[in-house]
Chains A and B, each alone.
Chain A
Amino acid sequence: MHKPSFDFSVACPAALRRSAQAVFLCVAAVGLTAHGAFAAEPIRIGLIQPLTGSVAYNGQADVDGAKLAVAAINKAGGVLGRPVELRIEDGQCNPANTVNAAEKLVQKDKVVSLIGAFCSSATAAIMPVAQKYRIPLLTGVSSEADLTEKGNPWFFRAAETDQLLARTFAPALIKTLQLKRVAYIGVNDDWGRGGVQEFQQALQAGGVQTVSTDYFDHGATDFYTLLTKLRASGADGLFVAAETQDGSILVKQIKELGLNMKVFGVGSWATSDFIGLAGPAAEGVYAAVPYVSTLATPQNTAFVASYTAAYKAPPGKYSAAGYNAVQIMAQAIARAGSTDADKVRAALAQTDYTAPNGHYRFTPKGQAYGFSLALVKIQNKTPNVVALATVSAPH
């Protein structure tokens, strides 16, 4: 795409040694590159997301957000006078494939840093790879609390953990929904199980009884059996950890079976796709999310406008995650003043990024804080924010 016309980084030091005239030429060349912005070699950032398989839809949303951020950065002159280029690989949410993708990005594409992966298990698998090659790794999605506790200095997480969401919103949920007996349903993977566990603990601490806990596999389409069991259980609330596809079908079938429960949960629910798929059944559903397109900050208004212009739909939580991750990484490279991995890592630790959903800073362990979490209720086909909280620095 961006063919380097004059590779001064290699040519200049040798030329400098020869003559004063060459020094002049060299300075002129640097000046030229600074002006004719994209003559220089691009800064490559590797992005690993699931683009096929059961969570491909969500991975694609992340990639869309990331591409929008790159376009915005390059339009504003790039980073260090060089354009940013994304190298995107499909990790399929699978640890083995994600490791292959990371190795390829590092060895063949020579990326400066890595962003990804989507599923916590896949991210956990590439954390040692990042450490081995000494290259910064930033995730905008993986929410399993353990990841930042592994003591990997190259890993940063610009996302909420299940624990944060659960502890932040449990009191509000218990109060608004008047929960007494809650049933839990989660998708059968690390994220679903983590979400169910954390919410169960947080709600139980608030005096809410657990009626039942069930898991289903990704791509399951019929929940009648599960819901039939629930109907007989006498629960007054239902917690669900599921993504758009499974979640929308589940919510529809809850209505079909006439279950009279308050439904709340985590996942990409506060999106127009979810609301379109679930139809009237989406009304009254509560979701705890780190981002929703109806947030009222100036940064978000601008983000939603440019995203909608590019993709004809407002962004969801994964689009925002992709966008934020690229912005944080690009700003760190700019602050580092070079693409040297150690300097970028040090600069990442100093992050102070104003996102559409609040501020992002990192703890010494690499966990982000300072951004907002929202509890939204879907009403009249729009996700309305009913409670907003800011993630404080964990102690």
Chain B
Amino acid sequence: MDLLLQFLVNGVVIGVFYALSALGLTLIFGLMRVVNFAHGDFYMLGGVLGWFVTERLGLDFFSGLAIVAVVMAAFGWVIDRVLIERVRDQGEEAGILLTIGLSIVIANVALLAVGTAPLKVASPVSEAPLLLGPVVLTRGRVVALVIAALLVVASHLLIRRTTLGRAMRATFQDPMAARLAGIRTERVYASTFALGTTLAALSGMLLGSIYSAQVSIGGTVSLKAFVVVILGGMGSFPGAIAGGLLLGVVEALWGGYISTNLVDLVGFLLVIVLLLFRPYGLFSLRAERA
């Protein structure tokens, strides 16, 4: 029983991390319909920048997090205005090729700049174990969970409660009507892309403080994030969270009771089974767009 409890807690923690790293993708891929293969590299950039500001510049974790957010939001905005805009409305293939190229460029520039060594992001709290009955956690993980939850809530409020959020929803429902109503859709696209990039980077820095940041991690992160977004349903916030938790818990139970060496298989099995029964994911916003 204690064992099961610990497996479940492990799964939930990882699930929240999966959800967080997939949130940005659910905006960019789910809402903007850009199949963003550079998502994992935005995540990686967040970790590398996090290392730079905390270990090199010696800032504390939270000011570092703020700086990374600002830098990566600007980066995302520029990428959208300079690159993504050129292939908008030209079908998904152009976007796929563009983001694959972008991913290669980002990964190799980072490789040249900081090298292949794993990098440590200074943690905001001590790494001592924290005992909750039979279950072990660490302060670092609890803090990361709280920040992740705050980020999810903040993004949700941004989209549901602000003018920008309303403009976003309008634009993705019907870009033409939104333009006719006076919404500057190019700004909405750029803001959404910037928000997605920032969320990816922040999760990269957050998880870099628990594990370590590494230049070559991009591909793995992208893959998991796609699994989560497809499980949850494209563009759905609750879906990304449910998808992440589902993946985390199932992986933990599979690893705990069956075998740890095929654990990466689980996500894809889940996707196949889910698509058979619910082709639009758990919480699809756009079932009508087949």
Q: Whole-angstrom distance between the alpha carbons of A214 and B254 in the complex?
A: 13
Q: Residue B261 at the A interface, CB < 8 A?
A: yes
B10 touches A228 (CB 8 A): yes
Contacts of B111 in A (CB 8 A): 52, 56
B209 to chain A, nearest CB (A): 12
Contacts of A256 in B (CB 8 A): 127-129, 136, 138
Q: Residue A219 at the B interface, CB < 8 A?
A: yes
Residue in A closest to B17 when the chains form the complex, CB atoms = A222
B212 touches A219 (CB 8 A): no
Q: Whole-angstrom distance between the alpha carbons of A52 and B218 in the complex?
A: 12
Interface residues of B in 1-32 (CB under 8 A from A): 3, 6-7, 10-11, 13-14
Q: Whole-angstrom distance between the alpha carbons of A59 and B260 in the complex?
A: 26
Contacts of A245 in B (CB 8 A): 118, 212, 214
Q: Whole-angstrom distance between the alpha carbons of A225 and B10 in the complex?
A: 7
Contacts of A217 in B (CB 8 A): 261, 263-264
Residue in A closest to B118 when the chains form the complex, CB atoms = A245
Give which listed residue, A52, A232, A258, contacts B3 with CB less than 8 A. A232
Interface residues of B in 241-290 (CB under 8 A from A): 251-252, 255-256, 259-261, 263-264
A52 touches B216 (CB 8 A): yes
A227 to chain B, nearest CB (A): 9
Give which listed residue, A188, A255, A277, contacts B261 with CB less than 8 A. A188
Knowing A232-B3, A245-B118, A256-B127, the reply to whether A56 touches B261 (Cβ < 8 A) is no
Residue in A closest to B123 when the chains form the complex, CB atoms = A279
Contacts of B48 in A (CB 8 A): none
Categorize the interface residue count of chain A. 35 or more
Q: Residue A249 at the B interface, CB < 8 A?
A: yes
Q: Is the interface of B mostly helix, strand, loop or mixed?
A: helix
Knowing A53-B216, A217-B261, A228-B7, the reply to whether A257 touches B129 (Cβ < 8 A) is yes
B260 touches A226 (CB 8 A): yes
A277 touches B10 (CB 8 A): no
A60 touches B116 (CB 8 A): yes
Interface residues of B in 98-127 (CB under 8 A from A): 107-108, 111, 115-118, 120, 127
Interface residues of A in 172-225 (CB under 8 A from B): 188, 214-217, 219-222, 224-225
A225 touches B116 (CB 8 A): no
B118 touches A221 (CB 8 A): no
Knowing A217-B261, A252-B127, A256-B136, the reply to whether A60 touches B115 (Cβ < 8 A) is yes
B259 to chain A, nearest CB (A): 8
B120 touches A277 (CB 8 A): yes
Q: Whole-angstrom distance between the alpha carbons of A57 and B115 in the complex?
A: 8
Q: Whole-angstrom distance between the alpha carbons of A276 and B120 in the complex?
A: 9
Knowing A222-B211, A225-B252, the reply to whether A216 touches B261 (Cβ < 8 A) is yes
Q: Residue B217 at the A interface, CB < 8 A?
A: yes
B212 touches A222 (CB 8 A): no
B260 touches A214 (CB 8 A): yes
Q: Residue A248 at the B interface, CB < 8 A?
A: yes
A257 touches B136 (CB 8 A): yes
A225 touches B127 (CB 8 A): no
Knowing A56-B116, A252-B127, A277-B118, the reply to whether A225 touches B255 (Cβ < 8 A) is yes
Q: Residue A41 at the B interface, CB < 8 A?
A: no
Q: Residue B220 at the A interface, CB < 8 A?
A: yes
B136 touches A277 (CB 8 A): no
Q: Residue B201 at the A interface, CB < 8 A?
A: no
Q: Residue B207 at the A interface, CB < 8 A?
A: yes
B150 to chain A, nearest CB (A): 22
Q: Residue A244 at the B interface, CB < 8 A?
A: yes
B211 touches A249 (CB 8 A): yes
A222 touches B216 (CB 8 A): no
Residue in A closest to B14 when the chains form the complex, CB atoms = A222
Q: Whole-angstrom distance between the alpha carbons of A5 and B44 in the complex?
A: 47
Give 1 or 0 for each of B56-75: 1 = CB within 8 Å of chain A CB: 00000000000000000000
Contacts of B252 in A (CB 8 A): 224-225
Q: Residue A273 at the B interface, CB < 8 A?
A: yes
A57 touches B212 (CB 8 A): no
A273 touches B118 (CB 8 A): yes
Q: Residue A54 at the B interface, CB < 8 A?
A: yes
Give 1 or 0 for each of A219-263: 1 = CB within 8 Å of chain B CB: 111101110110010000000000011001100100111100000
Contacts of A216 in B (CB 8 A): 260-261, 263
Q: Whole-angstrom distance between the alpha carbons of A224 and B117 in the complex?
A: 23
Contacts of B214 in A (CB 8 A): 219, 245
Give 1 or 0 for each of A254-291: 1 = CB within 8 Å of chain B CB: 01111000000000000001001101000000000000
Q: Whole-angstrom distance between the alpha carbons of A133 and B212 in the complex?
A: 43
Residue in B closest to A246 when the chains form the complex, CB atoms = B118
B118 touches A57 (CB 8 A): yes
Give which listed residue, B6, B115, B118, B217, contacts A228 with CB less than 8 A. B6
B257 to chain A, nearest CB (A): 9
A-B contact pairs, 28 of them (CB 8 A): A51-B116, A52-B216, A56-B215, A56-B216, A57-B116, A57-B117, A60-B115, A214-B260, A214-B261, A217-B263, A219-B217, A222-B211, A224-B13, A225-B10, A225-B256, A226-B260, A228-B256, A229-B3, A229-B256, A244-B117, A249-B212, A255-B129, A256-B127, A256-B129, A273-B117, A276-B120, A277-B212, A279-B127
With A52-B111, A225-B252 given, can you name 4 additional A-B contacts, CB distance below 8 Å?
A56-B116, A57-B116, A221-B211, A255-B129
Binding site for B on A (CB under 8 A): 51-54, 56-57, 59-60, 188, 214-217, 219-222, 224-226, 228-229, 232, 244-245, 248-249, 252, 255-258, 273, 276-277, 279
Closest 8 CB pairs of A and B: A215-B261, A225-B255, A57-B116, A221-B211, A224-B10, A56-B116, A245-B118, A228-B6
